[in-house]
A = this chain, B = another copy of it.
């Protein structure tokens, strides 16, 4: 599943992201409603985890607005312990479920699993990339020479690039995605993975911008 996490707390956000990524979900983590809106307009998510207290506005208003605009992606609300009214209002505003902070990561997994099962009917969205057809949920790529299999890290990189097709993604962003904040990896790991991806997908899919980062080629 492709999940959008909207959470401004650094520690909690990282923990949640690691947890759900560890379960094989493609995860994007944003920290403001503005970024959340942009991400949702760009990528078709299967689930949104939404904190209600954010620096640039109230999550509830955001949710209500999105629902009003016809957005149907399931939303699970993350709310502080005593904000019961928020919870009720959240369900009224169109949330599918809620979790009370501090919550157990296992509980989070269970809720996500429930949502996944509930909406498992709809077919997985297929993304076209050059000659390839990519199914993010099934983690499968079909190409002219049959299936292509990627490793975990390779998926992370590719998903990160697919998130902004044609746009430039700085190398630092990819590093952050792979290694959380703390890990100080002083090496050319990203370059190695880019190389491996190109070897599997062929050149021309990923192009380099010296000193800036990488981008997906739009060319067929």
Q: Could you list which residues of chain A lie within 8 angstroms of chain B, going by C-beta atoms?
A: 23-24, 104, 106-107, 109-110, 113-114, 117-121, 124, 135, 137-140, 149, 151-152, 155, 164, 166-168, 170, 172-173, 176, 181-182, 184, 209-213, 215
With A140-B166, A170-B23, A210-B151 as contacts: A113 and B109 at CB distance below 8 Å: no
Tell me whether A172 and B213 are in contact (CB under 8 A).
Answer: no
A207 nearest CB neighbor, chain B only: B149
With A104-B118, A107-B118 as contacts: A113 and B181 at CB distance below 8 Å: yes
A152 nearest CB neighbor, chain B only: B211
List 12 additional A-B contacts (Cβ < 8 Å) besides A110-B118, A137-B167. A24-B172, A104-B118, A106-B181, A107-B118, A113-B173, A113-B176, A138-B166, A139-B209, A139-B212, A140-B168, A151-B211, A152-B211
Residues from chain B with Cβ under 8 Å of A135 in the complex: 167
Residues from chain B with Cβ under 8 Å of A109 in the complex: 172, 181
Residues from chain B with Cβ under 8 Å of A181 in the complex: 106, 109-110, 113
Docked complex Cα distance between A139 and B167 (Å): 7
Residues from chain B with Cβ under 8 Å of A182 in the complex: 106, 110
How distant is A139 from chain B, measured CB to nearest CB, in Å? 4
A135 nearest CB neighbor, chain B only: B167
A116 nearest CB neighbor, chain B only: B173
Residues from chain B with Cβ under 8 Å of A120 in the complex: 110, 114
Tell me whether A23 and B152 are in contact (CB under 8 A).
Answer: no
Tell me whether B164 and A138 are in contact (CB under 8 A).
Answer: yes
Residues from chain B with Cβ under 8 Å of A210 in the complex: 151-152
Residues from chain B with Cβ under 8 Å of A24 in the complex: 168, 170, 172, 212-213
A96 nearest CB neighbor, chain B only: B104
Residues from chain B with Cβ under 8 Å of A151 in the complex: 210-211
Of the residues B23, B121, B137, contact of A110 by C-beta under 8 Å: B121
How distant is A189 from chain B, measured CB to nearest CB, in Å? 16
